[in-house]
Chains A and B, each alone.
Chain A
Amino acid sequence: MEYWTWWIGAIALGFFTVFYSLFTGKPLGVSGSWLSIARRKDDAILKASIETLARDPNEIKDELMAMTMAEFGEDFAQDEFSTDTTKQNEFDSSTVKITAAGAKLDFTPWTVHAFFLGSMFLGSYLASLSTGEYSLSLELSAMHARIFENTGEAWIALFFGGMMVGFGTQMAGGCTSGHGLSGCAQLIPASLMSTAVFFGSGTALTLLMNFRL
């Protein structure tokens, strides 16, 4: 496939990320979609919590206050949250402000995230068809076949490599899109460091693998 020049690719990917953020109201982050699928069983709890908060914000507030008192004691809650110093013994939770009250809480189910990821498959398939170069292949690429000499070795490497990708991105709290594109564009120090580290470690291992050839 003849690939786009760097500046066409940069414009396409840059503006895609911008549109994604503007249309969804969230920064692009694909590892978050994976996380959503991994903890799909929590969707029902999350949805119920959001509905409760939307219906009656005070219900959540009172629950949180009760848990705070159970954990830290009634005195702590009174000292921290009571605004009326003359009524320290008559704590009233309604004096506590809730910043989330009235806010529109968005909930994207794991099925939508799965659909998003699956759609990438379709987009890539269409790109291959548009250039007339779609073909099924048992090799990832010529270079991959040179590095991993037999098919079994290559497939095992891909499985463990995939595990490193899945484990690593969850541990780092982001991937190429979340840290690399969205985070770096906002000059977030953790994202800048993360991006430098995953590019650095990828470079080190690639140079080592290529050196063996």
Chain B
Amino acid sequence: MFKKYLLYGFLGTSMGFILARIGFADYDEINKMFAFIDTRMFLTFAGSVAIIMVVGLVLRSHFPRQDKFFQPGTLPGSMLFGFGWAVTGACPSLVFVQLGQGKIPAVMTLFGIYIGVIFYRKIHSRYLMWDVGSCNSA
């Protein structure tokens, strides 16, 4: 189990460092991306996807498959996430990057994300109950 902490700790630190150096957690950069003022972030994202795609094809026998499928929440959930991203400049990982950069207001985003996740799980288990296939949860 210690190895697992070590591995995920290393991966988390690397991811935080990379996202910070790209500028993904900078609200101004996110705003410029969404407003089509600067294409740097779009190109970074698209370039990353292209690299993962090529390496994934080359190493396809070793590469884990993503388990994603259409479900009733795909469209409204994605739309809601996009609105939230535009307001906070954060996705579930970027909020930690913002905090690491000393952005104190991101505490509110962190708190909001946690409440949002709990709130959705409660609604889902009581009323919705479809399989959302959320990734990497076990």
Q: Is B a genuine binding partner of A?
A: yes
Which residues of A pack against B, CB within 8 Å? Answer: 1, 3-7, 9-39, 46, 106-109, 112-113, 115-128, 134-144, 154-191, 193-195, 197-207, 209-210
Sample of 9 further A-B pairs with CB below 8 A, known A195-B78, A198-B85: A6-B39, A10-B46, A26-B136, A123-B17, A124-B19, A124-B97, A134-B102, A168-B83, A198-B79
B91–A175 contact, CB under 8 A?
Answer: yes
Measured in the bound complex, the distance between the Cα atoms of B80 and A170 in whole Å is 10
Count of residues in B whose CB is under 8 Å from the partner chain: 111
Which residues does B use to contact A, with CB under 8 Å? Answer: 1, 4-5, 7-23, 25-29, 31, 34-36, 39-41, 43-53, 55-56, 59, 62-66, 68-71, 73-106, 108-121, 124, 132-138
Minimal Cβ-Cβ distance residue in A for B102: A136
Q: Are A179 and B68 in contact (CB under 8 A)?
A: yes
* B102 adjacent to A135 (CB under 8 Å): yes
Least CB distance from A127 to B in Å reads 4
* 6 A-B residue pairs with CB within 8 Å: A30-B91, A30-B92, A33-B137, A173-B135, A185-B50, A207-B35
Q: Which residues of A contact B81 (CB under 8 A)?
A: 164-165, 168-169, 172, 175, 198, 201
Instruction: List residues of chain A with CB within 8 A of the CB of B106.
Output: 140, 158
Bound Cα distance A206, B88 (Å): 11
Q: Pick from B4, B18, B26, B28 the residue with the most CB of A within 10 Å.
A: B18
In the bound assembly, the distance between CA atoms of A127 and B102 in angstroms comes to 12
A176 to B90, CA, bound (A): 10
Task: With CB as the reference atom, state the residue of chain B lying closest to A173.
Answer: B132
Q: Is the interface of A mostly helix, strand, loop or mixed?
A: helix
A30 to chain B, nearest CB (A): 4
Query: Bound state CA distance, A190 and B114, in angstroms?
Result: 25
B96 near A121: Cβ-Cβ < 8 Å = yes
- Taking CB as reference atom, which chain A residue is nearest B104? A138
Known A123-B12, A174-B68: A197·B44 in contact at CB below 8 Å: no
Most chain B beta-carbon neighbours within 10 Å: one of A140, A182, A197: A140
